[in-house]
Structure 1
Amino acid sequence: MESKDYLKNINEIKDLMNKSSRFISLSGLSGIMAGIYALIGGAIAYWLVDNSGSDYLILDGRIFTLAMLDLFLIAFLSIITGIYLTTKKAKRNGAKIWDTTSKRLIINFIIPLLAGGFYILIILGQGKYGHTGALMLIFYGLALINASKYSFGNIRYLGYTEIILGLIAALLPGYGFWLWILGFGVAHIIYGTWMHFKYDKN
């Protein structure tokens, strides 16, 4: 009995250490909603280009501006929804939403994302559109992997998925849009659903 109690205490200590070093209040529903926003935004972007009379975007054109606004709204809605649902989950579990671990999570996530964002803006300014979707997927995947050590470790698998899709999009730029939809839309919904039933329901 004593050995069983000892092992139980060890496991409890490991669980406490894991919780103290990882931000575990991320909501699976926020991933689902981010995927839905991406699918809706992708449908809008497709409609804009399909009805523009051209098969490509022009940097200074109205369609390009609307497409950039579309992307901004997808990101904005995803962030706001993520903050709201994560805060709600943290309060329900009696956890802190803003502590050292969550700060580390955000910093490690935002650095690769900002670097990628600025790089994409630079190449767009040079009129190079072909690999935009691939770069978004790759840098987003790197950001997820970099932040995974401060949250659910399984997030890195979503990151790997995004990077693989990004590399495929770089090899097949003609399918970049659909791979972007698959990465930011479908993959988010699948992963968010899995995370919701594994973590949020317990």
Structure 2
Amino acid sequence: MDQQKYIEDLREIREIMNRSSRFISLSGLSGISAGIFALIGAYVAYKTVYAPQGELNYNSILFSSESILKLILIGAITLVCATGAAILFTKRTAEKKQQKLWDHQTKRLLVNLAIPLLSGGIFCLMLILNGFLGLIAPLTLIFYGLSLVNASKYTLSEVRSLGLAEIVLGLLSAYFIGFGLLFWAIGFGVLHIIYGVVMQLKYKS
């Protein structure tokens, strides 16, 4: 009896320590909504830029300045919508768990997420300005994956798995250089939805 109580006490202590050192208010719905917005963005990009050309292949499309600006605008709108939905659902989850949305753990998570993400974003912008458009999709996937892996030590372990999957997909996209939009849709769309469903079922968030 005493041994069982001792084990339960240790489990409670471990859960308290885990909550104090990790941001655990991530919502599965955040991942699902981000994936849906990414798929919508990919579809709009395809219809706007690729469909008129008749090919989903960088090698057969001559990008104009107008096309590049459209892609950047679509990407920015998609990012804003996905981020907004993520904040909304995460805030709701934090309230359910009676936890603060903004605390020391959140700051550490965001800092470690932002370092590779901002570095990759600036690097990709430089590549766009120099005309290396075929590398944008692979590099955004790789840098995003690196940012998730880097931040995963401050949140749930599933984030690390998602990050590793994004990196692998980015490397594959670098080999199949002409199909960046397709890999982008899989990485930011399909993988996020799968991750969100797993999180939702596992943590009932």
Say if 1:57 and 1:17 are closer, same or farther in 2 by CA, change over 3 A: farther
In 2, the alpha carbon distance for the partners of 1:62 and 1:126 equals: 15
Q: Deviations over 1:116-172 (max 9, x none)?
A: 000000111111111110000000000101111111011100000000000001111
The two structures, once aligned, show a CA RMSD in angstroms of 1.3
Gaps of 5+ in 1: none
> Is structure 2 residue 112 aligned with structure 1 residue 111?
no
- The residue number in structure 2 matching 1:45 is 45
- The residue number in structure 2 matching 1:31 is 31
> Is structure 2 residue 9 aligned with structure 1 residue 21?
no
In 1, the alpha carbon distance for the partners of 2:73 and 2:36 equals: 17
SS in 1 for 2:26: coil
Gaps of 5+ in 2: 55-59
Shift of 1:51: 4.4
> Is structure 2 residue 138 aligned with structure 1 residue 134?
yes
- The residue number in structure 2 matching 1:148 is 152
Say if 1:148 and 1:57 are closer, same or farther in 2 by CA, change over 3 A: farther
> Is structure 2 residue 90 aligned with structure 1 residue 86?
yes
- The residue number in structure 1 matching 2:100 is 96
What is the TM-score normalised by the length of structure 1? Answer: 0.95
> Is structure 2 residue 199 aligned with structure 1 residue 195?
yes
Contact kept in structure 2, 1:52 and 1:63, CA below 8 Å: no
Contact kept in structure 2, 1:57 and 1:63, CA below 8 Å: no
SS in 2 for 1:154: helix
In 2, the alpha carbon distance for the partners of 1:68 and 1:137 equals: 16
Shift of 1:175: 2.2
Compare 132-141 and 63-72 and name the one that shifted more: 63-72
- The residue number in structure 1 matching 2:61 is 56
In 2, the alpha carbon distance for the partners of 1:198 and 1:25 equals: 13
Aligned length: 200
In 1, the alpha carbon distance for the partners of 2:62 and 2:99 equals: 46
- The residue number in structure 1 matching 2:57 is none
In 1, the alpha carbon distance for the partners of 2:117 and 2:62 equals: 23
What is the TM-score normalised by the length of structure 2? Answer: 0.93
Shift of 1:58: 2.9
Contact kept in structure 1, 2:53 and 2:61, CA below 8 Å: no
Q: Deviations over 1:28-57 (max 9, x none)?
A: 101000000010100010011234448435
The AA in structure 2 aligned to 1:21 is: S
SS in 1 for 2:19: helix
Shift of 1:93: 1.4
The AA in structure 2 aligned to 1:130 is: G
